Structure 1
Amino acid sequence: MQQDAQGYHFDFMRRAIAEVDAAGPGVSLEALAGRLNMSPAHFQRVFSRWAGVSPKRFQQYLALGHAKALLDERFTTLETAHEAGLSGTGRLHDLFLRWEAMSPGEYSRGGDGLVIRWGWFDSPFGPALMMGTDKGLCGIAFSAESGEAEAMRDLRARWPAARYVEDPAMLADWTAAAFGQAQGDVPLFLIGAPFQIKVWEALMRIPSGHVTSYSEIAKAIGNPRAVRAVGTAVGRNPISLLIPCHRALRKSGGLGGYHWGLPVKRAILAWESARLEA
């Protein structure tokens, strides 16, 4: 197994998360390590270096009931959450985000005149399709559940008139920062309708390791009755992880939907909870 400078390889972490998730609470560390052809001590060390907590602790965060615990313990009202506006910055672990939005007129043209560069990268949540313009990242899709062809089709359908160019080198630094391999400033370029962008801006105010509800987001954007429309806009968020739609839950404590699959949503929430604890 190859390891990067931080002591882990994303393909290994993806497999490790899947094994920890499937194992159930009664499986020993030795059994988990054996499934990955590692010694227990080495598996514990590598996993904990990435997650900040042990595999067994991470397993608790992956549990379906963790969403309810988050609502009880780390529920955020967006009026008091950390602000991250169009000209501001928001801290996500060691990552700084700055972002701007496409104008409504530009959006209505379906990306006409835009050059969107793309590339595939490993991530701890499965293969990640990264897309960006010269202004910043505009798309992140996870293909573990949907498959690579569907992830590509999904993102390209959002901006059908754009010109797409395979160019992973152009996206490499932003991607490394996004997945915790480097510290850095990651610009985002939001390509969406005005209502969608208002919802995505509200999502940016939810601190890492915390959650809120669709109804709270509706209140925050000044339209408390638009809960269903908010849910649709959350689901249309093109920049997974960095615009944290995974932090939006149902009032009941249910996970709700996730465009790239609920296993990915649970893994991201677990990762953020682990890093907050660490």
Structure 2
Amino acid sequence: MVDYSQQADDYKRIENAIHFIEDNFKSQPTLDEIAKSVHLSKFHFNRIFKRWAGIGPVQFLHFITLDYTKQKMANSKSLLDASLDAGLSGPSRLHDLFVTFDAMTPGDFKKQGDGLKIKYCFCGSPFGQCLIATTERGVCHFGFLQKNDRSDALSQLYEAWPGAMFYENSEPIEPLLNRIFNLDQVDDARPFNILVKGTNFQINVWKALLQIPSGNVVSYQDIAAYIGRPKAFRAVASAIAINPIAYLIPCHRVIAKSGKIHQYRWGSSRKKAIVGWEAVKKVAI
């Protein structure tokens, strides 16, 4: 079992390093300068980074550069087209996590979750502290904490399900985390069930995100074209921006047409970290 508390602690350093690189990319900072920005020696920083990502920081940066993302974007349309014929096994399977949607009925939506029992839990992850909420029908919320602010994260959950009854989950969360972030090393191929509520358009956008293979990126325009609404890319961007379930619905795999990685509900640095982390895993397979 992976120590996700340790990974969350490591991620704090990684995120600060990515912030530093973003702010100083024009001067092309050295590994020494990046390590110094997070108050570590070059050797200690390198060890932490390898423990978190599996490779060193210099190699990792390759996966989040503009040149790399542009290269990946060139194949984005063919990736989405190919996913239509993909099965759920082998290298071309739709989504590593086998996510299945349970969209709320119009009646359920109108009740705003009235009477729904929701268990929630704060826990560590490879991308910092997160809040996971579940119902009998599946995961209904998954978000990363901004500045470790638990009260703000809970407020977002309460606002999303104003009629629900909330309980703090006392059961071990590590098996669920292991399935989410380490599926290739667990013997559990059951699909993830998620419960979402939104307009038909939003749900179609979120479903389309499941077609993007891990380690790849596409543009907002690609998703708009994929759902048959090529001129609605701004509406697509808006739907992606309010995705209620991070990582499982991989909105982080959608980037600007220019190849820039930004605009993420849980912070652009975190989006860069996830995109790079998945790219590393894909290369390692």
Both structures adopt the same fold (TM-score exceeding 0.5): yes
- 2:108 aligned partner: 106
Aligned-residue offset at 1:168: 4.8
- 2:9 aligned partner: 12
- 2:141 aligned partner: 139
Where do 1:226-245 residues align within 5 Å?
Answer: 226-245=232-251
Q: Supply the RMSD in Å over aligned alpha carbons.
A: 3.2
Letter in 2 for 1:276: K
Please say if residues 76 and 211 of structure 1, whose CA atoms lie closer than 8 Å, have aligned partners that are also in contact.
no
Aligned-residue offset at 1:208: 0.6
Q: What is the alpha-carbon distance in structure 2 between the residues aligned to residue 211 and residue 221 of structure 1?
A: 16
Letter in 2 for 1:149: S
Q: What is the alpha-carbon distance in structure 1 between the residues aligned to residue 279 and residue 46 of structure 2?
A: 18
Please say if residues 49 and 57 of structure 2, whose CA atoms lie closer than 8 Å, have aligned partners that are also in contact.
yes
Give the TM-score of the pair, scaled to structure 2.
0.79
Deviations 1:105-137 (A, max 9, x none): 212221112111101011222210111111211
Deviations 1:59-111 (A, max 9, x none): 233446654343235565523226789xxx8442xx44333222232122211
252-261 vs 127-136, greater mean Cα deviation: 252-261
Q: What is the alpha-carbon distance in structure 2 between the residues aligned to residue 36 and residue 189 of structure 1?
A: 42
Letter in 2 for 1:233: A
What's the secondary structure of 2:81's corresponding residue? Answer: coil
Please say if residues 83 and 94 of structure 2, whose CA atoms lie closer than 8 Å, have aligned partners that are also in contact.
no
Q: What is the alpha-carbon distance in structure 2 between the residues aligned to residue 154 and residue 71 of structure 1?
A: 32
Q: What is the alpha-carbon distance in structure 1 between the residues aligned to residue 147 and residue 280 of structure 2?
A: 23
Letter in 2 for 1:237: N
Where do 1:73-112 residues align within 5 Å?
Answer: 76-81=78-83, 90-92=94-96, 95-112=97-114
What's the secondary structure of 1:79's corresponding residue? Answer: helix
Q: What is the alpha-carbon distance in structure 1 between the residues aligned to residue 66 and residue 147 of structure 2?
A: 18
Correspondent of 2:169 among 141, 158, 167: 167
Q: Unaligned stretches of 5+ in structure 1?
A: none
Where do 1:106-255 residues align within 5 Å?
Answer: 106-145=108-147, 147-169=149-171, 171-180=173-182, 183=186, 184=188, 185=190, 186-255=192-261
Aligned-residue offset at 1:176: 2.8
Decide whether aligned partners of structure 1 residues 168 and 8 sit closer, same or farther in structure 2, where only a CA change above 3 A counts: closer
Correspondent of 2:265 among 251, 259, 262: 259
Q: What is the alpha-carbon distance in structure 2 between the residues aligned to residue 170 and residue 84 of structure 1?
A: 34
Deviations 1:117-168 (A, max 9, x none): 1010112222101111112111111113583222222232122111111115
Letter in 2 for 1:202: A
Query: Which structure: greater helix fraction?
Result: 2
What's the secondary structure of 1:80's corresponding residue? Answer: helix
Please say if residues 77 and 222 of structure 2, whose CA atoms lie closer than 8 Å, have aligned partners that are also in contact.
no
- 2:60 aligned partner: 58
Decide whether aligned partners of structure 1 residues 244 and 36 sit closer, same or farther in structure 2, where only a CA change above 3 A counts: same
Q: What is the alpha-carbon distance in structure 1 between the residues aligned to residue 269 and residue 11 of structure 2?
A: 11
Q: What is the alpha-carbon distance in structure 1 between the residues aligned to residue 116 and residue 124 of structure 2?
A: 26
Where do 1:23-38 residues align within 5 Å?
Answer: 26-28=29-31, 32=35
Give the TM-score of the pair, scaled to structure 1.
0.81
Identity of aligned residues (%): 33
